[in-house]
Amino acid sequence: MKYTFNEDKEFDIVAIGRACIDLNAVEYNRPMEETMTFSKYVGGSPANIAIGSSKLGLKAGFIGKIPDDQHGRFIESYMRNTGIDTTQMIVDQDGHKAGLAFTEIKSPEECSILMYRDDVADLYLEPSEVSEAYIAKAKMLLVSGTALAKSPSREAVLKAVNLAKKHQVKVVFELDYRPYTWKSTEETSVYYTLIAEQSDIVIGTRDEFDMMENRIGGSNDESVKYLFQHSADLVVIKHGVEGSYAYSKSGEVFRAKAYKTNVLKTFGAGDSYASAFIYGLVSGKDIETALKYGSASASIVVSKHSSSEAMPTVSEIEQLVEAQQKPCDLSGRRR
């Protein structure tokens, strides 16, 4: 089964939301207190997904707000140089800074992230800075959950989703739950549900779906049944080392197992999964193959130091899929 898009659109994907700085520990197997050197990368789930999609050959655009400083210029230039259209990246004029994420790599199973997200530029994207004409040019709009955490970014995303629906642009919601950005689980559930009900494709871990539904131990069947009563026609639920499932509104269920790899760290897998899964759909692969591409891409990224810089090419993904025709469980947990 294949998923269809409006082929007359200029952009394969336009992402909206967070673009920030990742500072990944160069020194492995030690706590952050003892780590002295870090490498700088572009980070943020929607930015990573746009970068991953562009590296796979999709035409990608990005809507977001970046600071008027060295970090902001680094983010814009890096994304532009990967082939992303950055004309809708707004430069903040009010002194807000880029979000920073310091990563700690104690072991493949024990990684953590120290986030600086107070008063960051990406959460100050205004609804007036979202262009209807730009969104209308996209096959899909990629929204991630973090952009919903604060106003005015929240309203900017709501406007973008409404415009996408108006212009027959598929809405893809990557749940991307980050607890440090939200005031409460109840608030998270309200806004996640609001966007999920308007989305055509919803992607997340089982834990993220439970957060959206404000419960513990929810079932895939209940989640997809609810979403299929609204706009969704494809729901992807990831179960870490057990693999991932895609549920089609037509009733079909597809599964991909995780691919064996030498895990270095646990972060970055979700973004690489989403970019490769989206690539598979847009390039005309069937849903099961798109799931395999997502799983393979995630395995590649967790074996490397960065998230954005490590996003694989199509040939790298296809080589891994071919090499492991019978995928094994991923040795290490996904974040």
- Per-residue pLDDT of 93-151, as tens digits, reads 999 999 999 988 888 778 889 999 999 999 999 999 999 999 999 999 999 999 999 99
pLDDT at position 82 over 90: yes
Binning pLDDT at 50, 70 and 90, where does residue 268 land?
A: confident
CB neighbour class for 8 (10 Å; exposed up to 12, middle 13-18, buried from 19): exposed
Distance, CA of 225 to CA of 202 (rounded, Å): 13
Which of helix, strand or coil describes residue 110?
Answer: strand
What's the confidence (pLDDT) of residue 109?
Answer: 78
Peptide bond into 127 cis (omega under 30): no
Q: What is the CA angle 128-48-54, rounded to 5? A: 90
Evaluated on CA atoms 330, 257, 212, 142, the torsion sign reads positive
The share of the chain scoring above pLDDT 70, in percent, equals 97
Helix (H) or strand (E) segment spanning residue 204? strand 201-205
Higher-confidence residue: 1 or 236? 236
Write down all domains in the chain, each with its CATH number in brackets.
13-323 (3.40.1190.20)
Is residue 211 a contact partner of residue 188, using CB atoms and an 8 Å limit? yes
